[in-house]
């Protein structure tokens, strides 16, 4: 059951990422986001 929950959450995350990519479309924005993620870590 725990694994299934993890998969369901993963699917939701993947959908969010897909929507995010559609909204962004701009590769340069994507690069900036990646840099920001690295800074946050």
- Which DSSP symbol is given to 25? -
CA distance 41 to 29: 19
Domain boundaries of the chain, sorted by first residue: 2-40
Distance of CA 34 to CAs 13, 14, 41, Å? 17, 17, 11
Instruction: Spell 6-39 as b/e; 16+ CB within 10 A means b.
Output: eeeeeeeeeeeeeeeeeeeeeeeeeeeeeeeeee
Contact (CB, 8 A) for 28 and 22 = no
Instruction: Write down the pTM of the prediction.
Output: 0.38
Q: What is the pLDDT of residues 2-41, one digit of tens each?
A: 778 888 888 888 888 888 777 766 555 666 666 666 666 5
């Amino acid at each position: 059951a725990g694994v299934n929950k993890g998969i369901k959450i993963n699917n939701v995350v993947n959908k969010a990422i897909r929507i995010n990519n559609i909204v962004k479309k701009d590769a340069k924005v994507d690069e900036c986001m990646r840099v920001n993620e690295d800074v946050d870590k």
